[in-house]
Amino acid sequence: MLVAEACDEFLIHCRVAKTLSPHSLRAYAIDLAEFRAFAGPECHVDACDRALLRGYLGHLLDVRGLMESSVKRRVACLKAMFRWLEREEVLAVSPFHRLDLVIRLPRRLPRALPADDLRRLLATAAADNSGHRGLAAQVTVELLFTTGMRVGELASATVSALDLIGGTLRILGKGSRERTVFLVDQDIRTLLAAWLRRREGVAHDTDALMVTPSGRPATTAWLRGMVKATAAQAGLNAITPHRLRHSAATQLLEAGVDIRFVQRLLGHHSIATTQLYTAVRDTALKAAVCAADIKGRVRGRG
């Protein structure tokens, strides 16, 4: 079997058997296309050996200049495909079997927004919500921050999964794992009620919670655009949906919420991911202690 054929069939398997989300399928297709181009149109899967895989890794890092996180994602996707080929008995054994191919990621702490920036962003979103786009932008910003959900999860959220009375929204996260986020603030529930009335006028053939002015389901790119436009109006730079998610986690931990609850709320598979936010708190604490300079105060410097 050619590598190109294997990639196509694996993507069909991911869509039909694994029922991956459209977002995950797009990411898989991009990752596999990179390997197909590297291996060449005539390469067979049984010709993919350790030397080819190591060469591909070097190509991603040295030629393409990709970040370690992007390389790790591409390699993980490729490993999943070869594992599937092994289960389908197309290959006797995956070339990844016992292959020492560890990609170490640099430690990057999540970047949460300062409280003042959050207030400016939320106030700006609420100031211009008369039209469809303005109201959609406010709903997007407030839901991403108050629930900590991913932008892809918001894009796939449905009206039928929303319970305004109970204050809950069921969403589908990574790995098709369903979880519930909570709308504990009466203001956000009132905002969503207004949004539902607005979307009813344009959305006729979709259950998607977030829709464009033409009534089509909102894409992740459209929602990111809502956040970016609102941030620009607030005079803020580099504001992304994921920074709002980071901000939600940081605010919850600083409010004393148990880290295991935050893990469940954010849909982290491993608590080690959630623990990165405790490092952010420690960093902030260190900065505060340094600024206080208690030794200097005792010596009369403060």
165 within a domain of the structure (yes/no) = yes
78 and 8 in a common domain: yes
* Residue written as token pair 């008995």: 89
Q: What is the per-residue pLDDT for 88?
A: 93
pLDDT of residue 105: 55
DSSP state letter for 159 = G
φ, ψ dihedrals at 224, nearest 5°: -60, -40
39 sits in which H/E element: helix 22-39
138 and 229 share one domain? yes
Residue 4 confidence (pLDDT)? 94
Specify whether 28 is catalytic: no
13 given a catalytic annotation: no
Residues 6 or more apart whose CB falls under 8 angstroms from that of 89 comprise: none
**Which pairing describes strands 162-163 and 178-182: parallel, antiparallel, or unpaired?**
unpaired
Say if residue 163 is in the same domain as residue 227: yes
Residues 120, 81, single domain; the answer is no
Give the per-residue pLDDT at 262.
67
Residue stretches of the chain with pLDDT short of 70: 103-110, 175, 257, 259, 262, 267-302
> In the listed set 87, 103, 131, which residue is the last one of a domain according to the structure?
87
* 296 in a structural domain: no
Question: In terms of domains, do 142 and 64 share one?
Answer: no
Same domain, 60 and 131: no
What's residue 291's pLDDT?
Answer: 58
- 119, 174, 224, 228: the active-site residue: 174
CATH number for the domain spanning 137: value is 1.10.443.10
Q: Which of 120, 198, 243, 268 is catalytic?
A: 268
* Inside any domain, residue 273: no
Q: Count the alpha carbons within 13 Å of 294 in the hemisphere toward its beta carbon.
A: 4
Q: In what order do the strands lie in the sheet with 178-182?
A: 162-163, 168-172, 178-182
- Judgement on whether residues 166 and 208 belong to the same structural domain of the protein: yes
Q: Is residue 266 part of a domain?
A: no
Output the pLDDT for position 287. Answer: 56
Residues 177 and 123 in one domain: yes
CA–CA separation, 296 vs 292, rounded Å? 9
Of 87, 103, 137, the last residue of a domain is: 87
Any idea what the CATH number is for the domain that residue 80 is in? 1.10.150
Q: Are residues 52 and 137 in the same domain?
A: no
Whether 246 and 277 have beta carbons less than 8 Å apart is answered as yes
Give the predicted TM-score (pTM) of the model.
0.63
- Count of domains forming the chain: 2
pLDDT value for 163: 93
- Please check whether residue 224 lies inside any domain of the structure: yes
Residues 126, 213: one domain? yes
Do 127 and 233 lie in one domain? The reply is yes
**Residue 198 counted as domain residue:** yes
Q: Which listed residue (74, 150, 198, 243) is catalytic?
A: 150
Which is nearest to 252 in space by CA: 148, 178, 149, 160?
148
Domain boundary among 180, 211, 238: 238
Q: Verify whether residue 242 is a known catalytic residue.
A: yes
Residue 26 lies in a domain: yes
Could you list the residue range(s) of the whole structural domain that residue 33 is in?
3-87
263 belongs to a structural domain = no
Contact 68/105 with Cβ under 8 angstroms?
yes
Say how far apart CA 38 and CA 66 lie, in whole Å.
15
Residues 72 and 154 grouped into a single domain: no
* Residue 56 bears catalytic tag: no
Long-range CB contacts for residues 21-30, cutoff 8 Å, separation at least 24: 21/152, 21/156, 21/172, 21/176, 23/152, 23/155, 23/156, 23/220, 24/174, 27/73, 27/77, 28/77
Of 18, 79, 242, 264, which residue is the catalytic one? 242
- In the residue annotation, 174 being an active-site residue is answered as yes
> Which member of 36, 74, 243, 245 is catalytic?
245
Looking at 36, 132, 243, 277, which residue is catalytic? 277
